[in-house]
Chains A and B, each alone.
Chain A
Amino acid sequence: MSVTSMRRKLPLAGAVLTAFALTLTACSSGSGSAAVPGESSDSGSGSETSAVFENAPVADDELILPGSTMEAIKERGTLVVAEALDAPLLSQQDPTNPDSVTGFDADLAKLLAIYILGEPNVEIVPPASETREALLANGTVDVVFNTYTITEERAEQVSFAGPYFSSGLAVAVKSDNDDIKGIDDLGGKTVIVGANTPAVTAVPEEQPTATLVDFATDPQAVQALIQGRGDAYVQDYTLLASNAAANDQLKVVGQPFTSEPYGIGLKHDDAEFKEFINTWLLKIQEGGQWGEAWKASLGTVVESDIPTPPAIGSVPGS
């Protein structure tokens, strides 16, 4: 893989990671103003990877409300998280060391575990994206960290903390294809999408004449594009960027054409837990751990400064 060619292909990184201004002062009226052990205002600007977990905030005992989900998790001693094991840069299991799962989502899940338990005790349940709502509803998992786009339909079934990240769908084509420059050129073309991704509904909205072919996993979709089963592959920008970084038969073209706010999926109507997690999100944003997690994962393939996280509660459904 060639980092320099990646950089040439992806000059748009800053635009992707849609920036929203954070109104930090507005949130300090809640429980966030309590002094938190281990958190200091000038920490988190270190450059090494371990900085992600260095000085990670831990919740005060008074935040773990009696009878709440947080208390149940603390008593159990592990945070049960639905997260992928096959998403490079987001949540990827090391094949030679199954205990090691790294990426942006994975690091945030560990940070949340530290916040509740004091240590990064995470039990991962790999979610099929079609069963995330059921996993939350029946209590199999506590939270979902799974590039889970916040939508109003989904918000009727589950609650979303965050958004904690904002990305968007983009178009990838074979490196030797110069005809397709973005979503506008996909009319009448065969477009490969991942099954159960937002692309399934977003592509027909933009290009009703495009024919969709969907594959169960991202590697299958990439393989199908390279073998010529479709003219283009529409997928989340971050995923395409990491694919293009690893495979020079693939390139990302044009700007992302949607905005996908990722939320942390929670059991429906658990307002205490949602507030608790939103408070935590603010703390890791202020403390710098959010930025370090980004830099250690997505930041390695995207040429950009650490983006400003989206404002919590800024999206319908969150």
Chain B
Amino acid sequence: MDILIENFGPLLEALGTTLMMAVVAGIGSLILGVLVTVARVSPIPILRAAAFGYVQFFINVPLLALLILAVFALPDAGLILPLTPTAIIVLIVYEAAYVAEAVRSGVNTVGVGQIEASRAIGLSLGQSLRYVVIPQAMRAVVQPLGNVMIALAMNTALAAAVGVVELTSRVNKVNLVYAQPIEIFTGAGLVYMAIALAIGLGTGWVERKVAIVR
């Protein structure tokens, strides 16, 4: 415990980076994921195919492989970005695929009759998605989205492998000096657990507020 207290400042700063990555990537992946879902249920075949390909690609490639590709292969292709934004962008596009799958399952809970009715009263496709389908779909998938967000928060730890100084990376450095992996990594594990619990509790609260009682 002493070690964690002695290194409180640097660890807190690194925790800040972890939380910042989780929040920015969380919001980004929710927005991108919903857009992908919209493309997937749209009547335009090429959009549907593109969205399908996007989801399949990112669900089937490990995040670490994507991070290493983005950090080491893109510069060879002439695109070099700072490390933390690179990691956040990769997290957004990766988790968006999972968000899209969750939201799509929510879209399937919206009755076909409602969509037909919304078209019948003269709403355009965009309007019926915006006012009828997506709000109901999102309410139905609060819990699955919460799980995706928890996974995202845990996945930020992989950024340590490509040089981002977040919690895991900082904890590794502290351990390098003190050589007490069990104490140090247990401490870090508890912090990650607290983050996951906070997201889980928040998700439960939101779900109770917005749940559609059927």
Chain A interface (Cβ within 8 Å of chain B)? 129-131, 133-134, 137, 151, 153-154, 156-158, 192, 195-198, 200-201, 213-216, 220, 223-224, 227-229
Residues of B158-193 at the interface with A, using a CB-CB cut-off of 8 Å, are 160-163, 165, 169, 172-173, 175-182, 185
Instruction: State how many angstroms separate the Cβ of B71 from the closest Cβ of chain A.
Output: 8
Chain B residues with CB under 8 Å of A220's CB are 68, 72, 161-162
Report B44-77 residues with CB < 8 Å from chain A CB.
68, 71-72, 75-76
> Interface of chain A, helix or strand or loop or mixed?
mixed
| A218 CB to nearest B CB, Å | 13
Q: Which of B162, B176, B185 contacts A216 (CB 8 A)?
A: B162
**Do A151 and B75 form a contact, CB below 8 Å, given A213-B163, A229-B83?**
no
Q: Is B80 at the interface (CB under 8 A from chain A)?
A: yes
Among the interface residues B163, B180, B185, which one has the most CB atoms of the partner chain A within 10 A?
B163
A156–B75 CB distance below 8 A: no
Give the residue of B72, B169, B181, B182 whose beta carbon is less than 8 angstroms from that of A227: B72
Assess A153 versus B177: contact at CB under 8 Å? Given A220-B68, A224-B72. yes
Asked if A223 and B72 sit within 8 Å, CB to CB, the answer is yes
Over the window 94-137 of chain B, the binary record of Cβ atoms lying under 8 Å from chain A Cβ atoms (1 yes, 0 no) is 00000000000000000000000000000000000000000000
Of all chain A residues, which has the CB nearest B182?
A134
A195 CB contacts on chain B under 8 angstroms? 160-161, 163, 169, 172-173
**CB-defined A-B contacts under 8 Å, sample of 23:** A130-B185, A134-B182, A154-B179, A157-B179, A195-B160, A195-B163, A195-B172, A195-B173, A198-B176, A200-B173, A201-B173, A201-B176, A213-B163, A214-B163, A214-B169, A214-B173, A215-B161, A216-B161, A220-B68, A220-B72, A220-B162, A223-B72, A227-B80
Closest Cβ of chain A: how far from B51's Cβ, in Å?
32
Given contacts A195-B169, A220-B68, contact A133 B179 (CB under 8 A): yes
| Distance A228 CA – B76 CA, assembled complex (angstroms) | 10
Q: A195-B172, A215-B162 are in contact. Are A153 and B179 (CB under 8 A)?
A: yes
Chain B proximity of A290: nearest CB distance (Å) = 27
- What chain A residues lie within 8 Å of B165 (beta carbons)? 214
- In angstroms, Cα B160 to Cα A172, docked, is 22
- Contact between B80 and A228 (Cβ–Cβ < 8 Å)? yes
Contact between chains at B179 and A158 (CB < 8 Å): yes
Contact present for B176 and A196 (CB under 8 Å): yes
- The binding surface of chain B is classed by DSSP as helix
Residues of A contacting B163 with CB < 8 Å?
A: 192, 195, 213-215, 224, 229
Given contacts A157-B180, A195-B169, contact A216 B160 (CB under 8 A): yes
Question: B181 to A134, Cβ gap below 8 A?
Answer: yes
Chain A residues near B177 (CB-CB < 8 A): 153, 201
- Kindly list chain B residues whose C-beta atoms are within 8 Å of the C-beta of A229: 75, 80, 83, 163
Chain B residue nearest to A152 (CB atoms) is B179
| CA distance in complex: A216, B165 (Å) | 12
How many angstroms from the CA of A130 to the CA of B180 in the assembled complex? 9
Leading 9 A-B pairs by shortest Cβ distance: A227-B75, A216-B161, A154-B179, A213-B163, A134-B181, A157-B179, A215-B163, A133-B179, A223-B72
A130 to B173, CA, bound (A): 9
Q: Are A130 and B175 in contact (CB under 8 A)?
A: yes
A223 to B68, CA, bound (A): 11
Residue contact B172 to A196, C-beta cutoff 8 Å: yes
A295 to B55, CA, bound (A): 53
Does the CB pair B181–A130 fall under 8 Å?
Answer: yes
Cα–Cα distance between A153 and B175 once the two chains are bound (Å): 10
Distance of A228 Cα from B163 Cα, bound (Å): 14
CA distance A224 to B86 in the complex (A): 14
Name the contact of A130 in the complex, choosing from B75, B76, B162, B176 (C-beta under 8 A): B176
Q: Are A200 and B176 in contact (CB under 8 A)?
A: yes
Please give 9 more A-B residue pairs, beta carbons under 8 A apart, in addition to A215-B161, A223-B72, A224-B72: A130-B172, A131-B181, A154-B179, A198-B176, A214-B163, A216-B161, A229-B75, A229-B80, A229-B83
